[in-house]
Amino acid sequence: MEIQGRIAIVTGGASGIGAGMARRFAAGGAEGVVVADLNLERARGVAQSIGPQALAVACDVSRESDIQALVAATRERFGRVDIYFSNAGILGRMGGIELEDALWDKMWQVHGMAHVWAARAVVPEMVARGEGYFLVTASAAGLLNIVESAPYGVTKHAAVAFAEWLRIAYGRRGIRVSCLCPQSVQTDMTKDGTGSAGLDGVLTPEQVAEVVVQTMREEKFLALPHPEVAKYFLNKGQDYDRWLGGMQKLYAHHTATQNG
């Protein structure tokens, strides 16, 4: 799909990958760009930097009612939704099974149910029209896992699985679906350090946006700004036990560093 003339929603659009994608959609000729974020002031700043074709909307993606209101506001302003970039994410505290249920629940809502709720809101309209694009930001952690945070890795796996299901269920009904799985990117999440995700370098949101746009043109499923991820994913599939052994070593190094 080409961006020219399209109406796009970007959640988590006030910073990082979301802001980079909102600006890239506008630069690519999008007719309308909706910048959705918890932080309305920052979302307005991004929208103002884009111009009159951009609209800022406050949205907490962990609430289905907010997502429904976001889509309604988009339709009221622009008439339709062509592209939905379900990008908002959170990191939370590092850790594993000891982390509180409230954090796990929040991760499930933001990295899992937010995509489901967004699809409920826009996919039927897209199917009726015969076309549409649904993008999910997962993470390399969704394909490979991450040693620093169990809830992040687990829920990002769920994001990949839901994007896969959407592609399976609606790919022959005009709905394009892609899943963005970067490693470390310059965002609010990485300002205090990149951890294991930064081993293959830290990309800018603009670099990630170019990969996403090319993925949309080619209508491929995986958007991999860090090409090394494809090799790691292949290694995982070819010898799961060996891959797990390597991850155990990485986890041991992380633990030793933390206990320093």
Catalytic residues: 152
Q: In this structure, which amino acid lies at residue 50?
A: I
Phi, psi of 196 (to 5 degrees): -65, -25
Asked whether the beta carbons of 90 and 110 are under 8 A apart, the reply is yes
d(CA 176, CA 139): 19
Asked whether the beta carbons of 134 and 175 are under 8 A apart, the reply is yes
Residue 238: half-sphere exposure toward Cβ, Cα within 13 Å: 6
Alpha helices in the chain, H assignment, sequence order: 16-27, 40-50, 64-78, 101-108, 114-129, 140-144, 150-170, 205-218, 228-238, 240-259
Burial per residue of 196-230, b for 16 or more beta-carbon CB atoms within 10 angstroms, e otherwise:
bbeebebbebebbbebbbebbeeeeebbbbbeebe
d(CA 111, CA 69): 19
Phi-psi region of 12 (alpha: psi -120 to 50; beta: other; left: phi over 0): left
Sign of the four-CA dihedral 91, 92, 96, 102: negative
The token duo for 84 is 């939905």
